Amino acid sequence: MTDQTLARPGSPTTSERAGDRTAPSSAARSRRRNEILRHTGLIVFGLVMLYPLIWMAVSAFKPSHLVLTDPGIIPTELTLENFRQGWYVAGYPFVVFFGNSLVLALSSIVGNLISCSLTAYALARLNFRARKLYFGIVLVSVMLPMHATLIPQYIVFSELDLVNTFVPLVLPKFLATDAFFVFLMIQFIRGIPRELDQAAWLDGAGPFRVFWYVILPLMRPALVTTTIFTFIWTWNDFFGQLIYLTEAPVFTVPVALNALVDSQSSQGTGTLLAMSLLSLLPILCFFAFAQKHLIRGISTTGLK
């Protein structure tokens, strides 16, 4: 890690502070050199990381039967056939699946933000007898592999006649069942000094006001992270959506993608890659947009 990495903007860099002795232009030159080196390194590493995706993007435009038999990165033929072929799955255009995934993702985000922050605040800040017990249960619920609880859970929802709706997928989000985010928020909240809470208490604020006016604003990076991850995981979640969504009109993107290619034959790989590429775009846009909020985070934790 070079010195530059850790410099905060606006703060004098080491070389500048020692700059009394060195002429300013060579300091600027060495900084430029470092920057170029860093960019080069990042770009090369980035290309290595992204090679599979680049391959996928190129292959999406190859005729389907050539994707696997002629797998070079330079295509010999280009076509939009894969997109045309893959656009309709089970009789519905992909827009429907995008829409379903979007509705699911947005509802999940709202559910998670509300329920997980409430739960995390209670577990991190409030003092009550059952706290350690509940925290333990939160952690344990993350540890059981999904396949063991899948069938009993499915039976519960089936008895309630809620299969083939979004309810089994959205309701848990409003009930803080995503222990990952509860735990994430707890860790973030614990990074916020208690003096702030105490100051608010001294001013006569109850737990809810402390939560709303003190903790929640300071948790912004955790909230943004939760939003990003919930969106992406919901967009990509396959198994849960597969078993609860049986008919095409409510299919989401991963279920539709699965129905494109049969594991028994390798026909249609091109279509799979094409539609996977398309389905990446919304999440990528979402991430690019949301991470700006991550950056614009609060640079001071105190209220002056």
Partner 1 sequence: MTLTRTPVSSPPAPPAPGRPAKRRARLGRQDGAAHVFMAPWLVGLVVITLIPMIASLYLSFTDYNILSAPTFVGTENYERMLDDSRFWSSARVTLVYVLVSVPLQLAFALALALVLDKGLRGLAIYRSAYYLPSLLGTSVAVAVLWRQIFGHDGLVNHALGFFGIEGTNWLQNPSTALSTLIVLNVWTFGSPMVIFLAGLRQLPEELYEAARVDGASVLRQFMSITVPLLTPIIFFNLILQTIGSFQAFTQAHVVSGGTGGPVDSTLFYTLYVYQQAFVNFDMGYASALAWVLLAVIAVITAGHFLLSRYWVFYGDSDD
Partner 2 sequence: MRELSRRNFLVAAGIAAGAGILAGCSGVAGGTGSATGTRTLRYAFWGNTVRQQNFQKAFEQMKEALDITLKVEFADYDAYQERMTTQMAAGNVADIFWVPSPHVMTYEANGLYRPLSEISSLDLSDYSDADLKDFELAGSLNTMPFGIFVPVVRSNQTLAQEDGVEIPDDWDWDWLTDFAIDYSKNAGGDRKALSYGADHDLSFEAWLRQHGEQLWTEDGKVGFTEDGLGGWIEWWEKLRKAGATTSISEQDGVSPSWEDVGDRCLLWFGNSNHIVDDAAMYPEMDFQLHQPPAGTDASAGHHYLYFPRMAVYQETDDERAELAGKVLQYSTSDVEMPKVVGLTMGVPPNPRVAEEYAEFATPDEQEMLRITAQARDADRRPRYEAPPGTSAWRTTFTRVLEEVTVGKASVSDAAATMITEIDRGISRAAD
- The binding site for partner 2 (CB under 8 A) comprises 65, 68-69, 85-86, 88-91, 103-104, 106-111, 113-114, 150-151, 154-155, 158-159, 161-167, 170-171, 174, 212, 216-217, 239, 242-243, 246-250, 255, 258-269, 271
Q: In what helix (H) or strand (E) does residue 38 lie, and over which residues does it extend?
A: helix 24-59
Pick the binder of partner 1 from 102, 106, 110, 118 (CB under 8 A): 118
- Using CB under 8 A as the binding rule, whether residue 175 contacts partner 1 is answered as yes
Nearer to partner 2, 235 or 268 (CB): 268
Bridge partners of 89, per DSSP, are 92
DSSP SS3 for 193 = coil
Bridge partners of 92, per DSSP, are 89
- Using CB under 8 A as the binding rule, whether residue 171 contacts partner 1 is answered as yes
Nearer to partner 2, 92 or 135 (CB): 92
Pick what 118 binds: partner 1, partner 2, none; C-beta below 5 to 8 Å, kind-dependent. Answer: partner 1
Pick the binder of partner 1 from 28, 36, 44, 50 (CB under 8 A): 50
51: which residues sit within 8 A by CB, 6+ positions away? none
Pick what 166 binds: partner 1, partner 2, none; C-beta below 5 to 8 Å, kind-dependent. Answer: partner 2
Measured in whole angstroms, how far is the alpha carbon of residue 263 from the centre of its chain? 28
For 34, the token pair is 């470092």
Pick what 11 binds: partner 2, partner 1, none; C-beta below 5 to 8 Å, kind-dependent. Answer: partner 1
Q: How many residues of this chain interact with partner 1, rule: CB under 8 A? A: 120
For 174, the token pair is 């409003």
Distances (CA, A) of 115 to 9, 112, 263: 36, 5, 39
Could you tell me where the beta strands, DSSP code E, fall in 47-166? 88-89, 92-93
